[in-house]
Amino acid sequence: MERSLHPGMERRADADETSSFVPSLTYDTSHERMGVAPSNEEHSMSEPHVGTPFAAAPDIHVIPTYWPVPGLGTLPMNAFLLHAEEPTLVDTGTAVLGEPFLAALGSLIDPARLRWIWLTHEDRDHTGSLVRLLELAPDATVLGTFMSFGRFSPDGPLPLERTRIVNAGDRVPVGDRVLEAVRPPIYDSPGTLGLLDCASGALFSSDCFGAPLPAEAAVAASTGDVDPLELRAAQVAWATTDSPWVTGADRDALRADVERVRRLQPSVILSSHLAPVHRDVGASFDALLAAREAAPAPAPTQSQVEALLAGV
């Protein structure tokens, strides 16, 4: 019998074992073609801005923020809306672009209808509108790890009655589907917790699998048209920068973690920092293993940063 964690949440009886999920999807794949969201034409790609939400999979919208990184390209900062029977928002954008983020969310759903907010971790590009959304979504409960909630606390503790702790292997029913908590193979925060939508097979991977890319690729609705070698190099560069410990990780332990998540057979990877990966999903897992063999990312010097900014 499965042990109940709290009302509305479950843990798999085999929580320490890797589940296997083979998705069955039928949906319009026209969004896999390279394309720029309409509102991006109104913005200079040299300025951070919130883009037009777009569909990434059945019942899932991306709410993208695009952040230029001098010398590297553009880094998406994605939040996601899951149109479940109990609507679920994954992360809440950046504080500096809070109003346009809430406007983009509001174009998809009345925030008051939200029932769950899944906080993948506490970094500022994931928690920007969290406090405001607790006001706009009075029935929403925030899901996250003890570590994420604790590390968020210096900005003001979240109301205990509005939070629920989840850990890897926990299963959260959200009406018409179940969300399974998944620890990504690599991460920058010890509180990181992604999730698998067991209805669509979509893997929400937090920072894992991210990559800064040229603007036209970063704002696409899919990585399908990005050169595979370019994508791999960018994912390796991101992994060694965002998760610098990966270059010194135990090879066997890292491979075991990568294969644990690969065996979930995600239909699409939804990273916080990359366009959706619909095609050749396995190559993104391979990029994580390649990051272990890469040289550690060098820390930029003051003079290098000044030179980059001078050219902006």
Domain coordinates in residue numbering, the chain: 32-310
Report pLDDT for 8: 42
CATH no. for 32-310: 3.60.15.10
The Cβ of residue 234 has, within 10 Å, a number of other Cβ atoms equal to 25
The DSSP symbol for 82 reads E
Number of H helices, E strands in the chain: 9, 15
Tokens 């029935």 identify what position?
Answer: 139
- Residues 6 or more apart whose CB falls under 8 angstroms from that of 289 comprise 254, 255, 258
For residues 172 and 181, give the distance between their C-alpha atoms in angstroms, rounded to a whole number.
8
Q: 3-state secondary structure string, 208-220?
A: CCCCCECHHHHCC
Sign of torsion, CA 102 103 105 106? positive
> How would you label 7-30 residue by residue, b for 16+ Cβ within 10 Å and e otherwise?
eebbbbeebeeebebebeeeeeee
Residue 265 sits at the vertex; the CA angle it makes with 25 and 273, to the nearest 5 degrees, is 90
Could you give the 3-state DSSP secondary structure of residue 225? Answer: coil
* pLDDT at residue 124, rounded to an integer: 87
Contact 199, 26 (CB under 8 A): no
Residues of the chain falling short of pLDDT 70 = 1-44, 311-312
Angstrom CA distances, 87 to 69, 90, 97, 177, 267, stand at: 32, 10, 22, 11, 20
Both tokens assigned to 250: 């135990």
Q: How far is residue 281's CA from residue 11's CA, in Å, rounded to a whole number? A: 27
What was the pLDDT predicted at 274? 97
Q: Are 221 and 37 in contact (CB under 8 A)?
A: yes
- What tokens were used for 164? 């629920």
What is the predicted pLDDT for the residue at 48?
93
Radius of gyration of the chain (CA): 18
